[in-house]
Amino acid sequence: MLSVKEAIQHMLKSVHPVTESETLSIDAGVDRILAQDVLSTVDIPAYDNSAMDGFALHLTEPNQTGFTVVGQALAGHPFQGQLVPGQAIRIMTGAQVPQGANAVVPIENTEQDKEGEQVRLFNPAQLHAHIRKRGEELVCGATVFSTGHQLTPVDIGLLASLGVAKIDVFKRLQVALFSTGDELVLPGQTRRPDQIYDSNRFVLHAMLERAGFSVLNLGLIPDNKQEIADAFMQASTQADAIICSGGVSVGDADYTKQVIDAHGDVGFWKVAMKPGKPFAFGKVNGSWFFGLPGNPVSATITLQQLALPALYQLAGRRSVEPLEIVVTAGETLKKRPGRADFQRGILRTENGITQVFSAGNQGSGMLSSVAKANCLILLDAEQGTLERGELVRVQVLEKPFR
Ligand code: AMP
Ligand code: MG
């Protein structure tokens, strides 16, 4: 059996990023992966501007509190002129700070005479205060994003603030998705007492889309070697990767591995993790194949822990470590030494102290434990039961999991 780390390393060594790219408008860029470095072609801010509604002053003597008001500046309507010592203008947030001004005083620290010709400061001004300097956030030429960065909503805003309208991104990864199992029916269909609803395809589809991939949902395949083989062959002509849940174990109706053995290449198929263990990685024609266990918890966790790093690399994304923190166990966490455990946990903060608790029954078929969880408790293979109060690593569950 491979360790989780070995399994991931094996896959990362095998898959090579896509190279095809396309040009997009930034509105369509969220979750896409940059195929170019983005350098700023402007200074941000582009000009010195006021951080407050107030007065911009030309200050020469530190204790001066009286100034002559010679005009005003609003955002988009600059003051045309230059301040000389002792002069001020009324200025609003975001307005350009005029030549000669070297401080801004917030309006609430001032009073103006009736005619609006003089302003008096309640306290002396601080030199350079409340002025957002040109280029203080970003200077022209600075690298804002590197190739392989996956864009977030905030990143799209940042691109817009730089004046960038179009970006080069890698082609969206095409992922074909199947379920296998004679016991499965679709929600909404009539179900015999010996059947269950296909839930994996719904979770996995949503997770893959949230990860930024394009999903080709190819439905349910019965436990039949020929039908599985046909489905995989067909999918391999359309997709960069094929993901299938169920049938990767050693049961009498587990044909996935046999099919990959016969028609493709099996990389490995057992990983020392819980939930998980049966997991197949390989190749069918030109497509990478990921065979996930059928148990719903195992399917989601092996997708996230094992398949996603490889899929992201395939899609051109630079590797990003998931957020991990060390907290105290709020209760006993049962574990047998042997495999690495990814227990479903709930992080709770009370009185400023964060502890982790079990999300309940850890059965690998119980998707409700994943629904309740906000983290995975990471327990190394050798680790045994952890007592309350001991330190433990947890991985905060974020997109695409939640
Ligand atoms: P398998 O890996 O095919 O041996 O399946 C292991 C367990 O997961 C069995 O109890 C299956 O009924 C269940 N299972 C397999 N596929 C799905 C699915 N798509 N949705 C929900 N449960 C499934
Ligand atoms: Mg099955």
CATH number at residue 343: 2.40.340.10
Kindly give the distance from the C-alpha atom of residue 246 to the centroid of ligand 1, in angstroms, as a whole number.
5
Which domain range does residue 68 map to? Answer: 49-132
Residue-level pLDDT at 269? 82
Note whether 28 and 152 are same-domain residues: yes
Note whether 271 and 178 are same-domain residues: yes
Note whether 92 and 122 are same-domain residues: yes
Residue-level pLDDT at 267? 84
Sort 216 into a burial class: Cβ within 10 Å, 0-12 / 13-18 / 19+. Answer: middle
Helices (H) and strands (E) in the chain, counts: 8, 26
d(C-alpha 392, C-alpha 324), whole Å = 10
Instruction: Answer whether residue 266 is part of any domain.
Output: yes
Alpha helices in 17-117 (DSSP H): none
Note whether 181 and 292 are same-domain residues: yes
Ligand 1: which of 203, 295, 298 to mutate, most ligand atoms within 8 Å of CB?
295
d(C-alpha 20, C-alpha 33), whole Å = 12
Kindly give the distance from the C-alpha atom of residue 332 to the centroid of ligand 1, in angstroms, as a whole number.
30
End of a domain among 285, 315, 345?
A: 315
SS3 34: strand
d(C-alpha 36, C-alpha 367), whole Å = 39
Q: Element (H or E) spanning 308, and its range?
A: helix 308-315
Strand order from edge to edge, sheet including 214-221: 214-221, 174-180, 241-245, 287-292, 278-284, 264-270
Mean pLDDT by 10 residues, the chain (402 residues): 94 94 98 98 96 97 95 97 97 98 98 96 96 96 98 97 97 97 96 97 98 97 95 96 93 88 86 93 94 96 97 96 94 96 97 96 94 97 96 95 86
- In the structure encoding, which two tokens stand for residue 146, read together? 């590197």
Residue-level pLDDT at 100? 97
End of a domain among 274, 294, 315?
A: 315
d(C-alpha 178, C-alpha 230), whole Å = 12
Residues with CB under 6 A from ligand 1: 179, 181, 183-184, 196, 198-201, 245-249, 251, 254, 293-296, 365
- Identify the residue whose C-alpha is closest to ligand 1 atom 11: 294
Measure CA 4 to chain center: 22
Instruction: Answer whether residue 156 is part of any domain.
Output: yes
Residue-level pLDDT at 266? 85
Q: Is the pTM of this model over 0.85?
A: yes
Terminal alpha carbon distance of the chain: 29
Measure CA 232 to chain center: 30
Residue-level pLDDT at 16? 95
Note whether 166 and 176 are same-domain residues: no
* Count of structural domains, the chain: 4
Is the peptide bond prior to 45 cis by the omega test (within 30 degrees of 0)?
yes
Radius of gyration (C-alpha) of the chain in whole angstroms: 30
